[in-house]
């Protein structure tokens, strides 16, 4: 059965893709959870239009992030946090905080866990095909 995905589905496809899946999967999972709609003529036309718009938005976002990464490559983002006498932070610096201060999407920041100590760190950043690093410095209050 052909369906048009309305949201990204891991292992199946991205939003606005037309995919062929088994009938049971389409009816009992994708359509039931509103992750897809049957591939009618109207749905296909609408999906094509939305896919084009999403592609344009993705390319614009990638360009903006590339420009932002170039600008941030030479800067150091400074965080001022409370720390104890052993230089451990009471509240860690996580991907959300780094993304807010850097002006990039949170999912572009690639750290496994929050930083819990004072110091200077290199943070890997990737978005699509763009890769870069940010330098952050965490100092005590």
Q: Mean pLDDT in the chain?
A: 88
Residues 46 and 96 in one domain: no
Contacts of 130 (CB under 8 A, 6+ apart): 62, 65, 66, 69
Render pLDDT for 43-69 as a digit per residue (tens, 0 to 9).
889 888 888 888 888 777 777 777 777
Q: Report the pLDDT value the prediction gives residue 32, as an integer from 0 to 100.
A: 94
Distance between CA atoms of residues 126 and 131, nearest Å: 4
Residues 54 and 103 in one domain: no
Indicate left, alpha or beta for 122 from its phi (over 0: left) and psi (-120 to 50: alpha). Answer: beta
Q: Which residues pair with 120 in a beta bridge?
A: 137
Residues 124 and 86 in one domain: yes
Residues 129 and 80 in one domain: yes
Distance between CA atoms of residues 125 and 65, nearest Å: 10
Instruction: Please provide the DSSP assignment of 76-92 as one string.
Output: EEEEEE-B-TTSEEEEE
- Out of 60, 77, 110, a domain closes at 60
Residues 17 and 56 in one domain: yes
Residues 6 and 49 in one domain: yes
What CATH number did the domain enclosing 46 receive?
3.40.5.10
Residues 26 and 85 in one domain: no
- The answer to whether 121 and 136 have CB atoms below 8 angstroms apart is yes
- Out of 10, 36, 60, a domain closes at 60
Residues 79 and 50 in one domain: no
- Residues 50, 55, 58, 59: is their CA dihedral positive or negative? negative
More confident residue, 129 or 137: 137
Give me the number of domains the chain comprises. Answer: 2
Confidence of residue 34 (pLDDT cuts 50, 70, 90): very high
- Which structural domain, as residue segments, surrounds residue 96? 68-140
CA distances to 3, 10, 71, 81, 133 from 6, rounded to whole Å, are: 9, 13, 35, 42, 33
- Out of 60, 79, 103, a domain closes at 60
């Amino acid at each position: 059965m052909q369906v048009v995905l309305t949201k990204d589905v891991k292992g199946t496809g991205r939003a606005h893709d037309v995919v062929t899946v088994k009938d049971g999967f389409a009816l009992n999972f994708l359509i039931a959870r509103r992750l897809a709609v049957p591939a009618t003529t109207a749905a296909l036309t609408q999906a094509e239009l939305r896919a084009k718009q999403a592609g344009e938005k993705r390319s614009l976002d990638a360009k903006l992030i590339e420009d932002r990464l170039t600008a941030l490559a030479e800067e150091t983002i400074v965080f001022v946090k409370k720390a104890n006498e052993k230089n451990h932070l009471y509240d860690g610096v996580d991907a959300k905080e780094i993304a807010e201060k850097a002006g990039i999407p949170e999912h572009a920041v690639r750290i496994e866990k929050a930083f819990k100590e004072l110091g200077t760190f290199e943070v890997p950043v990737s978005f699509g095909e763009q890769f870069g690093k940010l330098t952050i410095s965490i100092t005590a209050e």
